[in-house]
Every structure is written in structure tokens, then in C-alpha cells.
Amino acid sequence: MSVQVFYKNKANSNNYVLFVEEGFKIKGIKKHISNAEFTYINDLLKTSDLKKNLLVFEVSSKKKIILISIKKNLKTSDIESLGAEFYGYINYGKKSEYTLNTDSINSTVENFIGYFLHGLKLKSYEFNIYKSKKNIRLILINIIGKRNKLTIKNEIRFKAIEAGTFFARDLVSEPPNVLNPREYTNRLLKLKKLGIKVTTYNEAQLKKLGMHSLLGVGRGSINESFLVTLEWNGNKKDKKSPLSFVGKGVCFDTGGISLKPAKFMEEMKYDMAGSAVVAGLIQTLAIRKAKVNAVGVVGLVENMPGGNAQRPGDIVKAYNGKTIEVLNTDAEGRLVLADALSFTEKKFKPKFMIDLATLTGAIIIALGEEYAGLFSNNEELSKKLFNVGEKVKEKVWRLPLHENYDKLMNSPIADIQNINYSGGAGSITAAQFLQRFVTNKTPWAHLDIAGMAFSKKAANLNPGGATGFGVRLLNQLIEEHYE
């Protein structure tokens, strides 16, 4: 990591960071700087854009004063965003040091500095292990004033979320020649050291279980398919009905025989992001020792064309006994999730099931990079997800399910077909397909994160690339409602 935070209680830096009231009202910082500096800044402010969150003043050739404006009624997520924005200003040079004066913080939000540094750290993520010349950067943050280290509450919570998010981002960023299903499984096995129970199923075992829907997707690849379960049992008193999270782990999606076009196909290494978020979330729960029982289930496959690949027109039998006519081998995520969902429901009898998947291009058309699509058979779970999403700025928007959409998935010769040729609504019909593999008694929510899992551009707490979208959302859901 390139950012280090430490606490010296002495300002010895040339970069001095102060917090001011909304609109850069600087009266409050008079006591922290010299009269000359105050006058200098006061003059410059007359021609500055006071709507900004952050302004930098070079008060001398050696000293910069950075003012961060604290708007009224700031929420914790706004403070995280401020920390991330601050990182944007300090992310240059080989080595730099910033002194952050916490006595200038005029906010009633508890744990202000904890949230600020959390946002900063999430934004500072880099994936550089394949660069032979690394851009090594050391940013030291010296916290001074009364809101010192001891006042940061739940530091372990922040660390756990950062680690889980970074784990997810790392997995998503890995190239597909490295992170095949076997290598992925091996990395998940390492989570055992955190007290997570990891169980792996290879192709022979999946065949015995009857997971031919998942297996059909991996048939064209020389890389073996796996299903992995990750169990975190932090609530020893109530062992039954864990919360469950199911992830699409297509390590690379060429489309199979229904081959994708070449342009941007490389982005399909991200097609395992749903599973990476599930793994990151379970890791977060383990690190912060969450008092909850949760299980993550991920289906890990590679969707390739090849002599042994499944064909459009094939019929496969899923784990729950239903037959599926595979009309398009590129609608493979739902085939993987179908088995993973019905297996999870039967084996763990969960309190709820939430699946995450980069499932459809259509959800990007509908919601872009702003909201994940939410589909659910349960009002309460939907509301909870919506609310925690707004809170942590990992937003979800509910789209409908309806029996008329469901009918579009009927196959003339099997129980169900994996795409609909007429009727549009590509993201909804994908969700309808999934719902056929959930018995209606289990509250279930499907998050289509195709637009959220990665982004070429940086936004809020993401530096660009893999986002880890979903770790913070689901961690918040658990904290607020299930612990």
C-alpha cells in the first residue's frame, strides 16, 4: 500500500490540511495558521470557486495549506467521498507528507476521521503486480489534534471492509490466464486461516451431485470447473438458517459457441466479479468477527468454444431436476447460478439468498454505471437493500418480475430455455430464469452488477478498474439488520 497513516501530534509537514465550514468560511482556522497566511488565503478566496470541496493554497515556496470544506449535514458516506477526493489531490510524487489538523473539524459526526481515512484508503487501491517498473509512492498522513487515533472507533471494521474490497478487486483484476477456476479455488482455500470453512467441489463431485447446468458451461474449456462454499459461523448460538450469498464466477466469458465479437472481449475477465464480491464479503465478516452465520457459494467456470463445448440447442438437466434448452451459450451466467442457487437453498436452508452476477449487457443499457439492478420475490429484503445502498452509495434499483415475463422462458421441448427471442427485457427475463431455481419460500434477491463491477473511469471511492461493488452494500445490510 502506498498510503501510510501515523500520529505524531506535531505538525512538521509542509502540507497542512485544515477543515473549514461550508463555503470556505475560514474564521475557525485563524488560530491554526499565521496572520500572514490568513490574510493571503482570505484574499485569494475572493476569486476562488467556493462551491468546491477542496482548495489548495501555496502560501510559500515551501508550504501548502489545503482547505477542505465541510458542508452542513454531512453524512458518513459524504465524509468517505471527501477522503477519496483528498486522495486525488495528494496522489503524485514519490514521497510526500501531509499533516491533518483534526482540531479544525467542526462536525458532529462521530468518527469523522475514521470515515475520512476509510474513503481515502479505498480510493488509493492499485493493482500493479504485473508492472515491472512500479510507480512506488509513499504518502504519509500525520494526524494531529484531539481527534487522534484513539478516537477512531471500530478501526477493525474499516480494515475489514478495506481488505474484503481489495480482495475482490484483486481477483477481478487478475488476467484470465492466471485466475482460472483452479487457481481461484486455491486462493479461496487460503481463507481458511481466517476461520472460514472452505469446501470445494471438483467436476467429478459436481457430476455426482447432478449439476449439469453449471458443468455444461465449462465443457468447452480445458480448465476444470469448481463450486466452492465459504462458511463463516460467527454466531455460535443459532446455527441454523445462515444468510447466503451466491456469486457468478465465469473466469472468462468468450460466449462459447455463440461467440462474442472481438472488440472489448478482454473485459470478460471481469465476468467473475459477482463471485469475487461474495468472497470479499465473507472475508470482511471473518476479519471483523461478525456475530452472524453466513455462507458464500461461488460457481467457477470458464466459458470457451471448443470441440467439447456445449452447442446451441443442447438440453441439460439442472441440479433441481429441471431440463434447460440452451439456445445461446453466451447466456451462461444464469446456467451457473441456476445450479448454485438450488444447491444453496437445499443444502443450507438459508434465511435469504442474495446472488450477484455480471449477468446482462441489458442492465448497462437500463441503469448504466449508477445503479445495480435488483430483482426480488420479497418486499422487505428489497427495501432493506435499497436503503443500505443509498447509505453507502452502492445503489440498487428494483425492476419488476412478472409471470408474463416468466412465460417468455418456456421452451417448447424442455422445461425452460436460457434466452427469450421475443419480448425484450433482457435483464428481467434473465432474472425470471433464475427465479425458476428458487422455491418461492426463500426470500431471494438478484443483483445484476454488470454495470457496476468495473469501470474504465474513476468514481467516488473507486480508482478505476475493478470496484468491488457489493462488499460495502452487503456488509452494511448485515450490520444493520442481522447482527
Of the residues 151, 202, 328, 460, which one makes contact with ligand BES according to CB under 6 A: 328
CB of 362 to ligand BES, least distance (A): 6
For ligand BES (CB under 6 A), the number of binding residues is 15
Active-site residue, 334 included:
yes
**Cell numbers linked to 37:** 497566511
408 is an interface residue for ligand BES by CB under 6 A: no
Q: Where are the beta strands (DSSP E) in 161-289?
A: 197-201, 226-233, 243-253
Stretch binding ligand BES (CB under 6 A), from 82-90, 108-116, 355-363, 392-400:
355-363
Strand order in the sheet with 396-398: 197-201, 226-233, 293-303, 243-253, 352-357, 444-448, 372-376, 396-398
Q: Which residues contact 16 (CB under 8 A, 6 or more apart)?
A: 32, 33, 63, 64, 65, 66, 98, 99, 101
User: Cα(417)–Cα(412) distance, rounded to whole angstroms?
Assistant: 9
Among 128-136, 214-222, 249-257, 386-394, the segment contacting Zn ion (CB under 5 A): 249-257
Cβ 382 to ligand BES shortest distance, Å: 23
- The binding track of 202-241 with respect to Mn ion, each residue x by CB under 5 A or -, is ----------------------------------------
d(CA 357, CA 372): 10
Q: Which stretch binds Zn ion (CB under 5 A): 7-15, 152-160, 246-254, 410-418?
A: 246-254
Which residues, 6+ apart, have CB-to-CB distance to 445 below 8 Å? 352, 353, 354, 355, 374, 375, 376, 378, 381, 382, 385
State which of residues 67, 304, 450, 474 lies at the interface with ligand BES (CB under 6 A): 450
Q: How many CA atoms lie within 13 A of 196 on its CB side?
A: 30
Percentages (nearest 5) of helix, strand, coil residues in the chain: 40, 20, 40
* Range 125-142 burial, b when 16+ CB lie within 10 A, else e: bbeeeeeeeeeebebbbb
Least distance between Mn ion and beta carbon 335 (Å): 10
Of the residues 85, 162, 203, 253, which one makes contact with Zn ion according to CB under 5 A? 253
Q: How far apart are CA 392 and CA 372, in angstroms?
A: 13
Phi, psi of 417 (to 5 degrees): -115, 155
Determine, following the binding rule CB under 5 A, whether residue 253 of this chain makes contact with Mn ion. yes
Task: Calculate the alpha carbon distances from 13 to 64, 96, 97, 98 in Å.
Answer: 9, 9, 6, 6
Nearest to 259 by CA among 247, 246, 268: 268
**Binding flag, residue 330, Mn ion (CB under 5 A):** yes
Q: Does 360 bind ligand BES (CB under 6 A)?
A: yes
Decide if residue 424 touches ligand BES (CB under 6 A).
no
Nearer to Mn ion, 85 or 332 (CB): 332
Does the footprint of ligand BES cover residue 428 (CB under 6 A)? no
CB 337 within 8 A of CB 246: yes
In 10 A of CB 264, how many CB atoms?
Answer: 8
Residue type, 66: I
Binding partner at 450 among Zn ion, Mn ion, ligand BES, none, C-beta below 5 to 8 Å by kind: ligand BES
Q: Does 271 interact with ligand BES (rule: CB under 6 A)? A: yes
Residue 451 touching Zn ion (CB under 5 A): no
d(CA 20, CA 334): 50
Contact 448, 357 (CB under 8 A): yes
C-alpha distance from residue 341 to each of 245, 317, 347, 352 (Å): 9, 15, 10, 11
Interaction of residue 331 with ligand BES, rule CB under 6 A: yes
Which listed residue (83, 176, 247, 333) binds Zn ion by CB under 5 A?
333
**In this complex, which beta carbon is closest to ligand BES, that of residue 278 or of residue 359?**
359
C-beta of 305: minimal distance to Zn ion in Å? 14
Binding test (CB under 6 A) with ligand BES, winner from 181, 280, 333, 463: 333
333 or 465: CB nearest Zn ion: 333
Q: Is 426 in the site for ligand BES (CB under 6 A)?
A: yes
How many residues comprise the chain? 483
Choosing from 330, 339, 345, 394, the residue that interacts with ligand BES (CB under 6 A) is 330
CB of 245 to Mn ion, least distance (A): 21
* Residue 253 touching ligand BES (CB under 6 A): yes
CB of 271 to ligand BES, least distance (A): 5
Rule CB under 5 A: choose which of 85, 162, 174, 271 binds Zn ion: 271
Stretch binding Zn ion (CB under 5 A), from 43-51, 61-69, 325-333, 337-345: 325-333
3-state SS class at 14: coil
Phi, psi of 372 (to 5 degrees): -85, 150
- Which of residues 168, 362, 392, 399 is near ligand BES by CB under 6 A? 362
195 belongs to the binding site for ligand BES (CB under 6 A): no
Q: Output the CA–CA distances (angstroms, integers) from residue 64 to 18, 45, 127, in the order listed.
A: 11, 15, 30
Which positions touch Zn ion (CB under 5 A)?
A: 250, 253, 271, 333
Which positions touch ligand BES (CB under 6 A)?
A: 253, 271, 328, 330-333, 358-362, 419, 426, 450
Which positions touch Mn ion (CB under 5 A)?
A: 253, 330, 332
> Hey, which residues are catalytic here?
260, 334
